[in-house]
Amino acid sequence: MIEQTRRAAETGVDAQRSAMETWFGSFESVKSAQKSGVTLSKSAIEAYLDGLKSVYPEESVAELEAAVDEQFEAVDEIHEDAWQSFLDGLDEAEATYDELTEMQLELLADGFDAVEQVQAEAEETTEEAVASAEELAESA
């Protein structure tokens, strides 16, 4: 019974660790999706500016295009730096989580070892008490 409980507890910790690893790993996909959103926004603005060229002088639209390009370059740079910083922080958090999980598994093992030792000692004490009682009954 104790061994089954130990395995169940360890399995629970392992499942929790796997879920966290999946969660930590999911952020690369989020980064990619966000980058795609920025690219889509840029394409939509460029299409809008192309449409303006038919209504306004091309020189004035060119200035606006240059400003928009400059802003999107800044966004790209900030985006990359921010994500790198965030992902670095996630790596550190994941390493810390792994350390804590290992510690949790060690503490679980120590706790179950202690319970098994107490149980073995209790069995031994009970057997000794029964043997003593039997000797006393035979001698009486």
- The one-character DSSP state at 57 is -
Residues 106-137 have pLDDT tens digits of: 998 999 899 899 998 988 999 888 888 888 88
Spell out the residues 6+ positions from residue 16 whose beta carbon is closer than 8 angstroms to its own. 101
Name the CA dihedral angle for 106, 112, 116, 117, rounded to a multiple of 10 degrees.
50
pLDDT tens column, 5-20: 888 888 888 888 888 8
Record the tokens describing residue 126, joined without a space: 């009970």
Chain segment 34-93, per-residue pLDDT in tens: 889 989 999 999 999 989 888 888 888 899 899 999 999 999 889 889 988 998 998 898
